[in-house]
Chains A and B, each alone.
Chain A
Amino acid sequence: DGGITQSPKYLFRKEGQNVTLSCEQNLNHDAMYWYRQDPGQGLRLIYYSQIVNDFQKGDIAEGYSVSREKKESFPLTVTSAQKNPTAFYLCASSGLAGVTTGELFFGEGSRLTVL
């Protein structure tokens, strides 16, 4: 089945540790996104990429890093510089038309908790 796979689903991290969240898609989509969701705040864009080896910062990129070495993969690293990393992280992808219309396909999310 075509879709977006995020892993792990739940992750616990000690303060000062970097963690990497995986996102893989088999929809042959060019664009991929990472969002953060906090209670009562909707979704906020962290990073996005419209083509391999290129990505742009979103509204809240500080303390995060990404790479786009393959079309199918867009991993997100939450670094120790992120002051409040506990959140629900969502990866999404879209085709070229979806970049204009806003039609995104989301994964099931990764919940990160900092202990």
Chain B
Amino acid sequence: QKEVEQDPGPLSVPEGAIVSLNCTYSNSAFQYFMWYRQYSRKGPELLMYTYSSGNKEDGRFTAQVDKSSKYISLFIRDSQPSDSATYLCAMPGSARQLTFGSGTQLTVLP
């Protein structure tokens, strides 16, 4: 079993839809939960991160962590074509090395 599992998609939604992206993890020691966005043929960029459980909101993006279920989510409200990208969840482990999910490819159709 991989430490971090992520549905690869692809996921295709109409403009304006609410998008839900999810990851599950197995290591209960994870404390920080990252979401990176990667446009085609580019390097990933950090979108947002949360520490421990709870929600964090940044504009149209909300990150949610449920440590009891080992489940994290990224919600995108009022999705735009410019949100079309691959979204990667990631968590730093005890060795301070990031473990990445495989990424979910999202397309927002105009």
Query: Do residues B92 and A102 form an inter-chain contact, with CB atoms below 8 A?
Result: yes
Query: Which A residues lie within 8 Å of B41 (CB)?
Result: 109, 111
Query: Do residues A103 and B46 form an inter-chain contact, with CB atoms below 8 A?
Result: yes
Given contacts A42-B88, A42-B103, A43-B88, contact A99 B44 (CB under 8 A): no
Query: Do residues A106 and B101 form an inter-chain contact, with CB atoms below 8 A?
Result: no
Query: Which B residues lie within 8 Å of A103 (CB)?
Result: 34, 46, 49
Query: Which A residues lie within 8 Å of B34 (CB)?
Result: 101-103
Counting residue pairs across A and B whose Cβ atoms lie within 8 Å, the total is: 59
Size bracket of the A interface: 20 to 34
| Complex-state Cα separation, A109 to B40, whole angstroms | 11
**Which of B32, B45, B97, B102 lies in contact with A42, CB distance below 8 A?**
B102
Given contacts A40-B8, A42-B88, A43-B88, contact A102 B45 (CB under 8 A): no
Shortest CB–CB separation between residue B101 and chain A, in angstroms? 6
Could you mark each residue 38-68 of chain B with 1 if its beta carbon is under 8 Å from any beta carbon of chain A, else 0?
0001111110010100000000000000000
| Complex-state Cα separation, A64 to B42, whole angstroms | 22
Given contacts A40-B102, A42-B101, contact A106 B92 (CB under 8 A): no
For residue A100, CB closer than 8 A to chain B, the reply is: yes
For residue B100, CB closer than 8 A to chain A, the reply is: yes
In the complex, besides A42-B6, A42-B100, A43-B88, 13 extra interface pairs with C-beta distance below 8 angstroms are A42-B88, A58-B97, A90-B43, A90-B44, A99-B92, A101-B32, A101-B34, A102-B91, A103-B34, A103-B49, A104-B46, A109-B42, A111-B41
A-B contact pairs, 17 of them (CB 8 A): A40-B8, A42-B4, A42-B6, A42-B100, A45-B98, A48-B97, A90-B44, A100-B92, A101-B92, A102-B98, A104-B46, A105-B46, A106-B44, A106-B45, A107-B43, A108-B42, A109-B41
